[in-house]
Structure 1
């Protein structure tokens, strides 16, 4: 199983650490509110990731195959949700002191995962590559693969949130903070469009 775990991490590395929508979401929140403030959303996202991954591993993906309109609905809803977050970030003019601007919450993390059908595709693809065909130990394999996948994503998102936090350290004046917020708002908006079109 160790060999499978190593192969799984290698397989997931470019998917988890490249600048995708999830990573950009946490980088933007890290830049806007600091690394520590991203912990609740990160926890929500990854608890939901583990639950959804186990569910897909045990056959939930069959429901998406039977109801493809559900996939389309999730894609649209997820894109609109990220666009809404991007808009709130884009219109914030400082890094501190804006009451309407708040860090992403535990629930925001859950919603981001649930409304991200691209995650379902990656999870399903992962299981087709790494879940053995033998019935023996299938539950154990699903749980192990789900745990490795979730932990790997948690590390990636945390790194991106930390990068965002460190970048923000150079943008503490109101003028530069506004530019940073607009930049990350634009990046999140692009990520939302990416989610919609992918």
Structure 2
């Protein structure tokens, strides 16, 4: 069984810090409210939990043996972030933009597989907190359960922040400006993820150490 207190604090620190998920949750809170953003939040936790379980079961060794797979995920992730930025930029007040909708549970869960920050969080969590000699299934399930429990309130802060901002963004021009700023942040995240090669090398090293 992993040490729950340091594990929970570590996951909380990584979950609450800015990243693609939290940018999108803020925008969703502004445009769709907290209740309609809840499936998005639950999907994030579920996606990361499945990642943790699979890495604990040996997925990390696959990245170590096939480093090009990590590169491919970065490019797919960048492309998907561009698509999400386009969706955020098109969002508006729900009553004015009927075609706009928040991310679904499945979309949010699937996004974690191409989200660079999610992989950093998952791989480092397994590398640091998977007990040596522990049964991968039981230890992986424990890590995944803690991820889901701790992650939700941390990311909910960002959705609530968006909800609180909505009252100041009732003007259509302000709402468009806000959505444009959130879209620009997602585009910047996509670009930085591709050019930040030292971070890629560090991630690969963590995967390699865990695999061995």
TM tier relative to shorter chain = 0.7 to 0.9
CA distance in 1, matches of 2:93, 2:64: 45
Q: Could you state the TM-score of these two structures normalised by the residue count of structure 1?
A: 0.88
1:91-130 superposed matches below 5 A: 91-92=90-91, 94=93, 96-130=95-129
Structure 1 position 109, deviation (Å): 0.4
CA distance in 1, matches of 2:159, 2:90: 20
Change (3 A) 1:13 1:50: closer
Please identify, of 188-197 and 57-66, the stretch whose mean Cα deviation from structure 2 is larger: 188-197
Q: Is the aligned partner of 1:73 residue 2:72? A: yes
CA distance in 2, matches of 1:197, 1:96: 39
Can you give the 5+ residue segments of structure 1 that lack an aligned partner in the other structure?
A: none
**1:163 counterpart residue number:** 161
Structure 1 position 151, deviation (Å): 2.2
For residues 12-63 of structure 1, the C-alpha deviation after alignment (integer angstroms, 9 at most, x for no partner) is: 3331111122211211111121111111222222222211211111111111
For residues 76-126 of structure 1, the C-alpha deviation after alignment (integer angstroms, 9 at most, x for no partner) is: 111211211212322446553213322111222022111124422322221
Q: CA RMSD in A?
A: 2.1
Which ranges of 4 or more aligned residues in structure 1 deviate by more than 3 Å? 91-96, 194-198
Contact 1:30–1:164 under 8 Å retained in 2 = yes
CA distance in 2, matches of 1:44, 1:11: 20
Q: 1:172 aligns with which of 170, 173, 181?
A: 170
Contact 1:40–1:106 under 8 Å retained in 2 = yes
Contact 1:118–1:195 under 8 Å retained in 2 = no
Can you give the 5+ residue segments of structure 2 that lack an aligned partner in the other structure?
A: 197-212
CA distance in 1, matches of 2:64, 2:112: 19
CA distance in 1, matches of 2:56, 2:16: 22
Q: Is the aligned partner of 1:188 residue 2:189? A: no
Q: Could you state the TM-score of these two structures normalised by the residue count of structure 2?
A: 0.82
- Alignment length (residue pairs): 196
